[in-house]
A = this chain, B = another copy of it.
Amino acid sequence: MSKAKRVCVIGAGPSGMSVLYHFHQLKTQGKEIPEIVCFDKQSDWGGLWKYSWETGIDQNGEAVHGSMYRGLWSNGPKECLEYPDYTFEDHYKKAIPSYPPREVLFDYLKGRWSKGDLRPWIRFSHVVRQVTYNDSTDDFSVVAKDLTEDKDLPPQQFDYLIVASGHFSVPNIPSFPGIDRFPGRIMHSHDFRNANQFKDQTILVVGSSYSAEDLALQTLKYGAKKIYCTYKTRPMGFKWPSQIEEKQLFTKIEGSTVHFKDGTTADVDVIILCTGYLFYFPFLEERLRLKSTNILYPPGLYKCTLWTESANNKLLYIGMQDQYYTYTMFDAQAKWAVNYITGELKLPDHETMVKDWKKWVARMKELKGCHDDIDFQTDFLLDIAKDANYGYNLDTAEEFHVWEKHKQVSILTYRDQSYASRFTGTKSPIHHTTFMEALDDSMQTFLATKQ
């Protein structure tokens, strides 16, 4: 690098932490790295993996970031998100089952993040309020608020901005005829914290994606009486137990009675809106703002990472796509970003970059279902990993295809299956308790050997 650069990273979850991790790797190799400041509005690292009991608005008056709940177990095999340079066996000193609960995954993440001295780069309890790109000086002005001191900081200048603040935090809240007079509880999955409180209740789950699927299972597992899942376009289509029933979207609510399109009705205690999340970056000035729905390749991003629409190739986004791959994909994006910023990696010209992302977006539009999706994201991942000289093969398409089949066979037992690590070759042990019977989500119980 010609001169000392300054990089701002927004968010200290898996995506942002991968950026810090790869900068630190270069540093330990004796390379010159930029000055890094990472802002996170939470009081500790982890992003969504940091559980908090808070809902709605947090202790600092800010929107709660987390959408995490007690009892969340990985909904994909851990072998599909394992870091090649830090395996689960490295962390736990033994092989562990394929579908761990949140605390076990979070502990693993923290293990990798703790390999380097990354914490000093992070300003916790600092929310980014406002980012503008300065055309004349080709840099960013960032205003952050110190939430602990209740004080806006003066603007700081940065050469690069990396947005890694996630897109599963700001709930999408549709309305429905009669919902304003519904006498029961209405909530978004974002505010779901534990399933115990729905024991013996009848629940309407609105939606048909991962949140709907998992909250139907969660509430069933902890004793809900009946769960109606209602879909707009197509049902999830799993072989549900008798307590879970899929219905086409309801037409109205009268009192506590939900009227479904097929003419049937149900009286429900609770409505859980599993209606997804918004891409919401109110802190970015308009022209820097990625606007998208949750898709496999949001337009405007070269390698799904570099913003090509403004800001002179100084703005990057990590983890903004819909995800089969998670930690490993964020890691490859992060390494790509780090290589680019440190000058290891050269960009093609603007036209080529735009043509490239448009090619991916065009292909995305032709995808015909989950197996196509998996292959698409695998191809993207391998492409960016190669460009970033990632050095490991991150392809776990086969595991994802098998996982989808397991889910089709039984949504209740797919988490009881076992996979082999691509990096250690070890086949995971079967957990001592099946998912539907495992009510204790603690790390201690999960790691305990069968009694």
Q: Which of A's residues lie within 8 Å of B, judged by CB?
A: 51-59, 61, 63-64, 70, 129-130, 145, 150-152, 170-171, 173-175, 179-180, 182-188, 190-191, 193-194, 196-197, 269, 278, 280, 282, 285-286, 291
Contact indicator B56/A186 (Cβ below 8 Å): no
Q: What's the minimum C-beta distance from A219 to chain B, rounded to whole angstroms?
A: 13
Contact indicator A173/B59 (Cβ below 8 Å): yes
Interface of A is mostly: loop
Question: Which residue of B51, B53, B64 is within 8 Å of A182 (Cβ)?
Answer: B53
Query: Can you name 10 A-B pairs with beta carbons within 8 Å?
Result: A53-B179, A55-B191, A57-B190, A129-B282, A130-B130, A145-B282, A152-B285, A183-B194, A183-B197, A184-B197
Q: What's the minimum C-beta distance from A218 to chain B, rounded to whole angstroms?
A: 13
| Neighbouring B residues of A285 by C-beta, 8 Å | 152
Contact indicator B197/A269 (Cβ below 8 Å): yes
> In the complex where A53-B179, A61-B282 touch, is A186 in contact with B191 (Cβ < 8 A)?
no
Contact indicator A196/B184 (Cβ below 8 Å): yes
Q: What's the minimum C-beta distance from A286 to chain B, rounded to whole angstroms?
A: 5
When all copies of this chain in the complex are counted, the total is 2
Q: Nearest chain-B residue to A145 (Cβ)?
A: B282
Contact indicator A186/B193 (Cβ below 8 Å): yes
Q: Nearest chain-B residue to A176 (Cβ)?
A: B53
| Neighbouring B residues of A280 by C-beta, 8 Å | 61
| Neighbouring B residues of A57 by C-beta, 8 Å | 56, 63, 170-171, 173, 188, 190
The answer for the CA separation of A152 and B170 in the assembled complex, in Å, is 18
> In the complex where A150-B291, A196-B183, A197-B185 touch, is A54 in contact with B282 (Cβ < 8 A)?
no
Give the most central of A173, A182, A193: most B CB within 10 Å.
A173
Contact indicator A191/B286 (Cβ below 8 Å): no
Contact indicator B59/A174 (Cβ below 8 Å): yes
Give the most central of A51, A56, A170, A183: most B CB within 10 Å.
A56
Contact indicator B52/A170 (Cβ below 8 Å): no
Contact indicator B56/A56 (Cβ below 8 Å): yes
The answer for the CA separation of A303 and B91 in the assembled complex, in Å, is 63
Q: Nearest chain-B residue to A280 (Cβ)?
A: B61
The answer for the CA separation of A294 and B61 in the assembled complex, in Å, is 15
The answer for the CA separation of A171 and B70 in the assembled complex, in Å, is 23
Contact indicator A56/B59 (Cβ below 8 Å): no
Contact indicator A61/B197 (Cβ below 8 Å): no
Contact indicator A55/B282 (Cβ below 8 Å): no
Question: Which residue of B52, B171, B183 is within 8 Å of A56 (Cβ)?
Answer: B171
| Neighbouring B residues of A188 by C-beta, 8 Å | 56-57
Contact indicator A56/B190 (Cβ below 8 Å): yes
The answer for the CA separation of A187 and B58 in the assembled complex, in Å, is 11
| Neighbouring B residues of A152 by C-beta, 8 Å | 285-286
Q: What's the minimum C-beta distance from A254 to chain B, rounded to whole angstroms?
A: 15
> In the complex where A151-B286, A174-B59 touch, is A51 in contact with B197 (Cβ < 8 A)?
no
| Neighbouring B residues of A129 by C-beta, 8 Å | 282
**Known pairs A57-B63, A58-B173, A61-B278 / 8 extra A-B pairs, C-beta < 8 Å:** A53-B179, A55-B187, A56-B188, A57-B173, A63-B63, A70-B183, A129-B282, A183-B196
| Neighbouring B residues of A61 by C-beta, 8 Å | 170-171, 278, 280, 282
> In the complex where A129-B282, A197-B269, A282-B61 touch, is A55 in contact with B53 (Cβ < 8 A)?
no
Give the most central of A53, A70, A174, A179: most B CB within 10 Å.
A53
A-B pairs with the 7 shortest C-beta distances?
A56-B56, A183-B196, A61-B280, A59-B173, A61-B170, A53-B180, A152-B286
| Neighbouring B residues of A170 by C-beta, 8 Å | 57, 61
